[in-house]
Structures are given as structure tokens and as C-alpha cells.
Amino acid sequence: MSDYYEILGVSRDASQDQIKKAYRRLARELHPDVAGEDAGDRFKDVARAYEVLSNPEKRQQYDLGVDPSAPGGGTGPMGGGFGFQDIFETFFGGGQAQQGPIPRARRGQDALVRLDIDLAEATFGAQRELQVDTAVVCGTCGGTCCRPGTSPRTCDVCHGRGTVQRVARSFLGQVMTSAPCAACQGFGTVIPEPCAECSGEGRVRSRRTITVNVPAGVDTGTRIKLTAQGEVGPAGGPAGDLYVEIRERNHDTFVRRGDDLHCTLQVPMTAAALGTVLELETLDGPQEIDLRPGTQPGQIVTLKNLGVGHLHGSGRGDLNVHIEVQVPTALDPEQEQLLRSLAALRGEERPEPRLAAAHPGVFSRLRDKLSGR
């Protein structure tokens, strides 16, 4: 069994695009006008290899050890199913084997716009009004491309077929090819009097307002697809899709990590030692933080289900409150005496330093300080 990958000069994991490019390159090299009549047999091998490898089903059979181009194994290189259009494109510079004219109305392009939202909108979801500049159907001609009262006229050159035929000689003999009609660009019709509003395009640019439903859980980079809200195609063709890319603004208090929120709560040294109940303003309103006696610096208090809503699924993330204990830097004589008395009672007049494992947050804060953040 011939090695079709070697014949085309591609690897076994080559993509369809790579296979097609390799075939076209070899077909040009093996053209009789370039390589002479002796290249005919090699061209047949190249054509047979391309026929098999360009067809996903036949390629799968070939990779399993079955040559579908062999007798009884499928159509041969010049049998039914062979891509003559590729030969025409290679030899005659883009000839088409299409049947009938090209539709003048075609699908429009997709569009991309960006939408800035705040953390609360990302947490709970929101409905936003967005202004976009896109192509819409021309209101004057309704997408016909013609001046009102007129209509397209059948092309006098191709008589509505959209293509013209010609006969060319090749090593295969006389071959009849089809090419797009230059007079009508392949449409089969011409616009004798184009619409003045859209210049015969059937569409104009306009600013319009659309409503975007932002689901809870979106983050920077999330794209929301709005079907058929993009550019209207030429001649009033179907509209493409509109993609809204989310950009989330930074919050003054909370930092988002996935669907969890983080914030820092500063408490006095005495409150951390004695314990207290504090009130924290969250996205859901005021929430009480119960600090136990002996709360340590860097300790985290987790408030369940007060984070960002999950984009795919129900529920929400958590709010993690990082406790930062404030140590006084200036004491009056009475405060200093009270602290000294407390230290004496605890036997801490001259405390011995001890090394202990640091909380992971200590390292991150140290890195931030050293880097000047």
C-alpha cells in the first residue's frame, strides 16, 4: 500500500488545510507545461493520495490499513467523488464548478463590543442598555440594493447563470471550466440604478440600543453571545452574532479571587485580645463579625455565601475577612503604665523571642512591601 503521507510530503497528523496546500503545490510542480508529459504518472499518485487524505472517512480507513482507492475499496483517483474543482483552481487560476449564481444576500459579520461592570453587577447579575454601531438593513431600499421603484436586471453576459464557461487544454485533454462572470461578479444580476442611501449595498451603518442581560458570576474576559445582533449582511442578508466582552472594574474594598471575595478588617489590639462584635458593610448590606477573644493577626473569618454568584450553577462563593490587628504606636503615660502592669502580671517584662511558622499571608505581605506595592 502506498504511503500517501509521504507522497504529499506531510506528517500523519497534518491538518486538512496542510494537506490541501501540499496537494496544490505538487499539482503546480507536476503540470505538463512545467514538468513535461513524463510527470503524468506521478501526478496520478498525488491525486490519489489527496483523494484519500482529504476525505475524513477515507483517511480514517487508510490509517487503519485499508486503501479505499484500491479496486473494491472505494472510488479511484479519477472516479466519482474526485475533486475536479481543485484541479481547475490549480491549473486555471480559480475556476469554479458552482451551479447557479451566487446569492447577493449573504450573512453579516460577527461583532465584538466591551462592557464595563462593577463588582455588584458581577455578583448578582444585571440588565444593561448598550449602544452599538453596526450595519442594519437600509431603510430606503429594504435590502434590495436598488433605487425605489427599480429592480435588479438579468446579466446580459451570463444570462443569469452567474458563470461563464471556457475550454482549455491540459494533459487530460480538453477541459471545460467555469469562472465567475466579470460583468455581474457572479450574482447573475446587475443593479442598473443603485440605491442612493446605501450605494447599492442594501445596508447602512446605524447606532442602536440593545438590552444585555448580564448573568451573575461573569468575570473579566467573559463573552456573552447575542444571536443575530451583529452586522447585517450585504443586500440585507442575515445578521451575524454580537459578542459582549465583560470587563470588571476594581472595587475599593473587596478583592475577587474566583467566586470568593476578600477584604481586610483592621481591629484594635484590645478588641483582638478581649473579643468583640463588629459590623462590616458587605454587598448584601451590614453583617456582624464575631471576633473571639485572642484573635490573632492574619486570622480569617469566613462569611458563607456572601461572595460572587456561580456563573454555571446555583449558589455563591464566600466572603473572607482577613483580620489585621492594630498595635498602638504612641501611648500616654497612663496607657503605658497599664500595659507594663499587664506585662508584669503575664511575666512578659523581658520576653524571649521565638521563631514560629509564619502564616502564608505574611509572606505575601512581605513580598508586596519589598516590591513597593
**Per the annotation, where are the binding residues for Zn(2+)?**
138, 141, 155, 158, 181, 184, 195, 198
259: its cell numbers? 467566586
How crowded is the C-beta side of 39, counted as CA atoms within 13 Å?
16
11: its cell numbers? 506528517
Please answer whether residues 242 and 210 qualify as being in contact, where contact means their C-beta atoms are separated by less than 8 angstroms: yes
* Annotation: binding site: 138, 141, 155, 158, 181, 184, 195, 198
- The span from the CA of 244 to the CA of 221, in Å, is 9
